Amino acid sequence: MSHPPPAEKVLEDRRVDCGCDERLHRPVLLEPGFQAWAVHACCGCGMVTCTEQRGDDGRFTGEAWSVHVALMLKPEVMTWLASWARLGPHEREVLWPMPAGWVRRGHRYLPAGWSGFSVEDLERREAALHEEQADLGVRQRLLLTGVPSEPPPAALPPQLAGFAVVWQAMQLTPETDTKVLLPYAQGSGPGSAIAAELLTGMQDAPQRLVELLRSGRAGPLQAALALLRAAPRPECLPLILEALQAVPLTPLSDVPDRLSHWDCFELLLLMLAELRTQASEAPAVLRALMRKVARHDTTLVDRLRLVTALLESNAPPQV
pLDDT of residue 279: 63
- Among 137, 75, 149, 76, smallest CA distance to 112 is for 149
Residue 4 has pLDDT above 90, yes or no: no
Other CB atoms within 10 Å distance of the CB of residue 26 = 21
Enumerate the domain spans of the chain: 7-55+65-145, 172-231, 235-319
How far is CA 231 from each of CA 135, 193, 200, 239, 268, rounded to the nearest angstrom?
Answer: 11, 11, 7, 16, 16
Q: What is the pLDDT of residues 218-277, one digit of tens each?
A: 999 999 999 999 999 988 999 999 999 999 999 998 888 999 999 999 999 999 999 877
Q: What is the pLDDT of residues 75-89, one digit of tens each?
A: 999 999 999 999 998
Q: What is the pLDDT of residues 8-46, one digit of tens each?
A: 788 778 899 999 999 999 999 998 876 789 999 999 999
With pLDDT > 90 as the criterion, what percentage of the chain qualifies?
Answer: 71
How far is CA 105 from each of CA 171, 177, 273, 317, rounded to the nearest angstrom?
Answer: 22, 27, 15, 11
DSSP-derived 3-state class of residue 217? coil
- Looking from the CA of 111 toward its CB, the CA atoms found within 13 Å total 11
Amino acid at 295: R
Q: What is the pLDDT of residues 117-174, one digit of tens each?
A: 999 999 999 999 989 998 899 999 999 999 999 999 999 999 999 999 999 999 999 9
Q: Which residue has the higher pLDDT, 284 or 7?
A: 284
Phi, psi angle pair for 52, to nearest 5°: -120, 130
